[in-house]
Amino acid sequence: MANTFIKATQVVQMARLLLQREIVLPRLVWSDFTKQQFQYAANDTVSMVVPAQFDARTRVLRSTTALTADDLTETKVDVTLDTHVYKLLNITDEQLTLDIRDFGVQVLQPQMRSVAEGLEDVIATELAAATPAATVDFAEGTNDPYKVVLAARKKLNDLNVPRANRVLVVGSSVELALLEDDRISKAQNSGDAIASDALREASLPRIGGFTIVGSNALGEDEAYAFHQTAIAFGAFAPAIPTGAADGSQVSEEGIGLRYLRDYNPTNSTGPVDRSLVDAFAGATSVEQGGSNKRLVAINFTPAV
């Protein structure tokens, strides 16, 4: 029986299905970048300018008080592609011939899942490393879960964070603690359009102006309330080398992936078919004055 090889175009379609089903964080952060912005950029870095913020001054009419001039200072935030996320598999001739019935299901799906989750981990790591402008305590069994959500809302309001595009991302233990509150578990989603199946499946009822989303990319006790622009994220499929026997690129849900396949007859452990899925990525916390003014951390303490 001849081996059946999956073609690059089929891989692209499979990647779309996988990413829509499994990945949520890239849809929740600022990923409005193009690959062209990073091409030829020094140190693979794109700089974003955050507009200056001012408090207005006043003077008494008909007074002799002079006008006071202020300095305009914009903030620059750098986003650097600094992480190569990949999964390389060496498939032997024996495995291809005798063991693998469906290359897409048995090889490519797990491969792509691992890279997609690795890319999402880049965002989760940056969230955990960010310096939030405020925190809210949530001791399970002591603090009212509904009031915790409202307290996070107030913190963002006080920071003048836009009310649209806010999200509360929670780990599994925090998600459970929220859903054990009747006011949250019995609430209905507001009908806001959720762009992907993954987000729709992960979303809890919308509470306090937040789209609440559970994510396994976070630790079970982690939770963050933030605006979409709190984290800047870029992920792109590398170029396809001319020496590859087969290759394709896909960009979906804010994720760029490359798939390459070739044959290495001189591999040290025997001839192999090499299957590579990879991407370049980077994420940055958008901070001003030493903290991320679009981010509130929930300090969750589980019940003993």
What are the structural domains of the chain?
Answer: 8-48+75-125+233-284 (3.30.2400), 132-230+287-301 (3.30.1930.10)
Q: CB of 280 within 8 A of CB of 84?
A: yes
Dist CA 140 CA 251 (whole Å) = 40
69-98 pLDDT, tens digit each: 988 777 777 888 889 999 999 998 888 888
Q: Which amino acid does the sequence have at 27?
A: R
190 — pLDDT class (breaks 50, 70, 90): very low
**Stated pTM of the model:** 0.82
Q: Inter-axis angle of helices 145-158 and 172-179, to 10 degrees? A: 110
| Nearest of 224, 216, 122, 110 to residue 166 by alpha carbon | 224
39-49 pLDDT, tens digit each: 656 677 777 77
